[in-house]
Amino acid sequence: MYNFNFEPVLAGLDQLLIGAWLTIQLSCAAMILGLIVSVLCAAGKTSGVVPLRWIIDAYIEIIRNTPFLVQIFFIFFGLPSLGLRLTPNGAALLALVVNFGAYGTEIIRAGIESIQKGQVEAGTALGLSKLQIFRYIIMKPALRTVYPALTSQFIYLMLTSSVVSAISADDLAAAGNDLQSATFASFEVYIVITLMYLAMSVGFSAIFSIIEKAAFKYPLSR
């Protein structure tokens, strides 16, 4: 019978907590930069300029139909031969941004397309300024529409980010790998780490739903 030994894991808990904090930082940075990429690409896609739309479509399809692990290998090992040398952490962030950007673009585009033209025209007719129209008529309902998809995409991003440990970037999974090879308590280490990921995804879902209730509580009228 196997004797579980959580002692070395608890001894290295501060290491794991630092790892968890790194994962949160990495995910948040990737989300913010990825959102910028998404908004730009969504704007490019809806702009109707044909070659631009093709390029963005190709980007989305390539990223969505290849594994993240291969993308990060390509960026970390492949790009240096083009002269772009990145640290493991830099490559990890770039890979996550590129990956999130492809999924985010589709989400944002759906949000923009959910605003009917008549609403903007109604805003103009009511004498709202361009900025007011953008803020109250386009952005607010569009954000409300895409919010659930964006938040679940963020959680997915955070879980995916564990893969960056494969190129020895710093995150929770990498902290686990280190602790595992130092203590040989592999199963115990990964049980604790898995629970930490679970806690983070449950925690973030809870935070997101509190924000949702506070920010989007005005009634929908259809």
Partner 1 sequence: MLIRPFGWSEFWIIVMAAQWTIALSAIAFAGGGVGGLFIALARVSDSRWPRLLATGFIRIFQGTPLLMQLFLVFFGMNILGFAINPWLAAAVALTLHASAFLGEIWRGCIEAVPPGQREAATALGLRYYNRMRYILLPQASRVAVAPTVGFLVQLIKGTSLAAIIGFTELTRQGQIINNATFSPFMVFGTVAAVYFVLCWPLSVLARRMETRFSRPTAR
Dist CA 58 CA 63 (whole Å): 9
Distances (CA, A) of 98 to 63, 124, 151, 209: 8, 37, 17, 26
Dist CA 117 CA 119 (whole Å): 5
Q: Which of 33, 40, 69, 115 binds partner 1 (CB under 8 A)?
A: 69
Cβ-Cβ contacts under 8 Å for 68 (sequence gap 6 or more): 95, 99, 160, 163
* Residues of this chain, 137-166, that bind partner 1 according to CB under 8 A: 155, 159-160, 162-163, 165-166
Q: Which of 19, 68, 94, 151 binds partner 1 (CB under 8 A)?
A: 68
* Residues of this chain, 76-115, that bind partner 1 according to CB under 8 A: 77-82
Q: Does 55 bind partner 1 (CB under 8 A)?
A: no
Q: Which of 128, 191, 208, 216 binds partner 1 (CB under 8 A)?
A: 191
The one segment of 14-22, 49-57, 110-118, 188-196 that binds partner 1 by CB under 8 A? 188-196
Q: Does 134 bind partner 1 (CB under 8 A)?
A: no
Dist CA 105 CA 209 (whole Å): 22
CB of 125 to partner 1, least distance (A): 33
Distances (CA, A) of 122 to 72, 125, 133, 138: 46, 5, 10, 12
Where on the chain is the footprint of partner 1 (CB under 8 A)? 2, 61-62, 64-71, 73-74, 77-82, 155, 159-160, 162-163, 165-166, 173, 186-187, 190-191, 193-194, 197-198, 201-202
